[in-house]
Structure 1
């Protein structure tokens, strides 16, 4: 609330989503995890990037911070404008005239399709997880995944394993240096399960990989805010951009290739077996409460 006052004093309109109330309530789990920046209704940015010094590596907290985002122009921006204004209206209680924010830039040239989408814990559709599962199930050659938090449920493990056993090259990049030690302990406890299924796991060397990306077969990709953990897939308000045969697919592929070749360490069978007793012990305990973390 002090930060809200600081911004308000500077003339910035600021609202607090779901402020903490000292009472027992499950609604405290519903966090607004979306990252949306819209400029004049014509340009939007979406990805993993928050507004803090570590995201631009001005301040080093967990080694080198790796993150990604995409820039949209044209009609697709309207989806993000609506997500922002709807949330603003719910929190503020003020009625918004939406049409005044419609995109005015037309005829933006791009191949393929761009579909920005949101996910909400208040409906009966797990959009974020379904999009990810759809990409995994439809992959023919490869599926590359980048996520800071890897706590897959049984359904996600099943589709990842089925893809790998079908001959699809399934690779996942996680951080080497975690921002939350307990999440890292749980994440690494899944490495053996994934190795057994044929999934290749990599860790981002010397830093924290905060990028949330999926890429499949040089055709489809997702960049957004959605992690592979219970909170992100089921409890948070999230958003992402799905792209199919767009021009930027090659840039996303180049980023993955660079990480695999130069910035990541492939987790081996020996790495898994050499986990410390403390890590193994804590993972047994923490996996029982993984959805709460």
Structure 2
């Protein structure tokens, strides 16, 4: 009897899942793969689908976002045409999908590697007057966490409100002792989709990968660097972590604060209001614009994938990309190949050392296709390169948290800053070329001679890449 009931429940559940995949599957190739897995691996296939396969774009976690952002005004005509309309379509795309318009009169400062970044962050935190908002994917115990605790304690004593969000999986190692101490001194702390058995199937695969700090609504930081001592001391077996971060001051900082407030509503159900402070004296940046682009699995469209795709397609002279996890879908592969075959100088800078061997195999599995189409690939040998940078034509650049893979586009909450800023683009280009000079360039005729063992590993990594 019980066997009959269990089999009946299994059949009904399987039918529901199959219908869900047919009706709501995001991509035909993935839908077919999940259907094959379910029928080939009874029970196991369903378990994997419940963990990793569901389409959040049809089951939104946040329904407040559009209402929060719908009142943000579009920039005036003079601002919109700062590049004579060249990037107006990209600005419109990002605005319609992420609801943030480009803004002018921002002050930008590039921060390279951990020591420089944390010096700037702690200086800004020390000068906080009203509130501090902090959000990180990885927040680990260590010297940085201890130093932050002491600073938080001092700022709370003078009335500064501190709110902290950490990702439940990315910061899984963060000790309960440290979290309890934060709460005891008055820090408001929430975990983003914490690891709980009841939520296991619905939340495990959807992570908040954003790194945001906003001080008093006017000074903000974002980029690839997490709260971890490995950015200062390196990591055993991997060496020093290299990364890029960005300090923003002005309207773009307020937009990053709105991204934080949206996530705060998700974790706490508390609707925060932007604080109104007297505007700081900012140097004009010649009316060149900055646009914050935030995306997640519950948005209608994969805005960060669309943003990268558009920047690549609009490149006329060059497109330079630094990213540790380049595991692109077909649209980005075609965009990169088309640009290179059309005469655009396309270069990829990737870490030679990897924090995850299987992911590294997946990244390398695309190299032959890229090299054959004329894309130049450089392997950075010194430690682990974790930056997420894109720069093109001395005109546009992107710094943020999104990798070039399906996880960042479909499953993670990410945020990037797009700079329509000529001087900043030239600065990033010079840094990119300097790093390339110290890297090892791959050659097509040499790469295709790699062993069958390496090819087999790459194929294995490519097959498993949708799970990363």
TM-score normalised to the size of structure 2? 0.59
**Using the alignment, how far apart are the partners of 1:192 and 1:59 within structure 2?**
30
CA drift at 1:204: 0.7
Gaps of 5+ in 2: 1-174
2:216 and 2:275 in contact (8 A); partners too: no
Task: After TM superposition, list the pairs within 5 Å mapping 1:189-200 onto structure 2.
Answer: 189-200=365-376
Structure having greater relative contact order (Cα 8 Å, sep ≥ 6): 1
| Higher Rg of the two aligned structures | 2
1:84 counterpart (250, 254, 260) = 260
**Using the alignment, how far apart are the partners of 1:28 and 1:103 within structure 2?**
42
CA drift at 1:61: 4.9
1:67 and 1:210 in contact (8 A); partners too: yes
Q: In structure 2, what is the equivalent of residue 99 of structure 1? A: 274
Q: In structure 1, what is the equivalent of residue 464 of structure 2? A: 289
Q: Which one is further off, 240-249 or 196-205?
A: 240-249
1:48 and 1:211 in contact (8 A); partners too: yes
Q: C-alpha deviations, 1:194-224, integer Å up to 9, x for none?
A: 1112211111112211000000011100000
Q: Which one is further off, 240-249 or 218-227?
A: 240-249
CA drift at 1:70: 1.2
2:235 and 2:241 in contact (8 A); partners too: no
Q: In structure 1, what is the equivalent of residue 204 of structure 2? A: 28
1:5 counterpart (175, 180, 187) = 180
1:47 and 1:224 in contact (8 A); partners too: yes
**Using the alignment, how far apart are the partners of 1:181 and 1:241 within structure 2?**
29
2:296 and 2:409 in contact (8 A); partners too: no
For residue 100 of structure 1, give the secondary structure of its aligned residue in structure 2. Answer: coil
1:207 counterpart (383, 397, 406) = 383
Q: Are 1:230 and 2:391 matched, yes or no?
A: no
Gaps of 5+ in 1: none
Q: Are 1:110 and 2:285 matched, yes or no?
A: yes
> What is the RMSD computed on CA atoms of the aligned residues?
1.9
**Using the alignment, how far apart are the partners of 1:179 and 1:101 within structure 2?**
42
**Using the alignment, how far apart are the partners of 1:95 and 1:113 within structure 2?**
28
2:231 counterpart (55, 63, 79) = 55
Q: Which one is further off, 146-155 or 57-66?
A: 57-66
Q: In structure 2, what is the equivalent of residue 18 of structure 1? A: 193
Q: Which one is further off, 242-251 or 114-123?
A: 242-251
Q: Are 1:165 and 2:341 matched, yes or no?
A: yes
For residue 16 of structure 1, give the secondary structure of its aligned residue in structure 2. Answer: strand
**Using the alignment, how far apart are the partners of 1:21 and 1:209 within structure 2?**
32
Q: In structure 1, what is the equivalent of residue 301 of structure 2? A: 125
